């Protein structure tokens, strides 16, 4: 069974439908890149997948034991968030909060999980630093470590490289590629960095206030929607440069 199934999903704000006709599955091991123009409903869809917003119609179903408090999530970056005064370790271990329930204190396993994810993202040396003093790339590593503390089998990333310099963005994509290569989770990434994001994706969901395409990356690049959006011809099988 799929981790998430979307069947005839529409999403609305204040009674106004902003996204309609969404039908796709998220399977274990998928790396789905969600693309589309600004205002096409990509972030709204992410909120629906996270159960932060109910669909106006249709169904979003969790399967394979997935529960909403075990989904890792990185929202869009904001200037206010960049100045968050907490320490790095505090930010990372807060990813364990959603699954703590009514337990008031972090467990030994929570603390070990936080250190483990800082090590795997090479930020353990930043443990006692203030989050707001870090570079943009370092902050995104910290937020990814926090998301991994939450994640069981799914990561949802909403424009995680927005505002990063090219080297930091490339570094972040390399980390996501490495996480995906392990095969033990699914990744759904919203991105405007079409060339780099598509280079690692297995599948593409293209939305424009409705679903324009869902399928394998290669099929997308050969489709009318893919050729138009990426500016590529059918004869090319590689993702465009960003």
114 and 166 in one domain?
Answer: no
CA dihedral 16, 74, 225, 235 (to 10 degrees): 180
Burial of 142 (0-12, 13-18, 19+ CB in 10 A): buried
Residue 15 lies in a domain: no
Give the residue carrying structure tokens 């069974």: 1
Mean pLDDT of the residues in the chain: 89
Residue 169 within a domain? yes
Question: Each residue of 188-203: pLDDT tens digit?
Answer: 999 988 888 889 999 9
Residues 144 and 165 in one domain: no
**What is the count of structural domains for the chain?**
2
Tell me the pTM: 0.89
Between CA 114 and CA 145 the distance in angstroms is: 7
Task: Please enumerate in sequence order all residues whose Cβ is within 8 A of that of 105, keeping only pairs 6 or more positions apart, or say none.
Answer: none
Which residue is it, tokens 């997935």?
Answer: 66
Average pLDDT rounded to a whole number, residues 70-81: 79
Same domain, 198 and 138: no
Range of the domain at 172: 28-55+156-242
Domain end call among 130, 152, 174: 152
Q: Same structural domain for residues 163 and 240?
A: yes
Domain final residue, candidates 152, 177, 210: 152
Decide: 45 and 39 in contact? Cβ < 8 Å. no
Residue 3 to residue 64: CA distance in whole angstroms: 5
Tens-place pLDDT, residues 141-185: 999 999 999 988 999 999 999 889 999 999 999 999 999 999 889
The domain that holds 195 is classified in CATH as 3.40.50.300
Main-chain phi, psi angles of 80, to 5 degrees: -65, -40
d(CA 93, CA 109): 11
* Residue 196 to residue 199: CA distance in whole angstroms: 5
% of the chain beyond a pLDDT of 70 = 90
* 3-class DSSP assignment, residue 60: strand
Q: Is the pLDDT of residue 233 over 70?
A: no
pLDDT for the residue numbered 239:
42
126 and 192 assigned to the same domain: no
Residue 69 lies in a domain: no
Residues 162, 144 within the same domain: no
């Amino acid at each position: 069974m799929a981790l998430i199934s979307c069947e005839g999903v529409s999403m609305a704000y204040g009674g106004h439908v902003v996204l309609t006709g969404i039908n796709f599955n998220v399977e274990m091991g998928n790396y789905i890149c969600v693309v589309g123009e600004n205002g096409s409903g990509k972030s709204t869809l992410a909120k629906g997948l996270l159960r932060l917003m109910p669909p106006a119609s249709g169904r979003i179903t969790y399967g394979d034991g997935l529960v909403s408090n075990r989904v890792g999530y990185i929202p869009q970056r904001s200037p206010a968030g960049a100045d968050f005064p907490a320490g790095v370790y505090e930010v990372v271990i807060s990813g364990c909060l959603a699954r703590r329930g009514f337990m008031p204190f972090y467990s030994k396993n929570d603390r070990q999980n936080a250190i483990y994810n800082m090590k795997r993202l090479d930020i353990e040396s930043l443990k006692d630093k203030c989050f707001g003093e870090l570079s943009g790339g370092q902050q995104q590593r910290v937020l990814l470590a926090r998301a991994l503390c939450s994640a069981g089998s799914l990561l949802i990333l909403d424009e995680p490289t927005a505002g990063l310099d090219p080297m930091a963005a490339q570094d972040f994509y390399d980390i996501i590629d490495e996480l995906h290569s392990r095969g033990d989770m699914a990744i759904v990434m919203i991105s405007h960095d079409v060339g780099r994001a598509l280079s690692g994706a297995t599948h593409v969901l293209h939305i424009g206030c409705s679903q324009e395409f869902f399928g394998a990356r290669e099929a997308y690049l050969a489709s009318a929607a893919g050729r138009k959006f990426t500016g590529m011809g059918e004869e090319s099988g590689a993702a465009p440069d960003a």
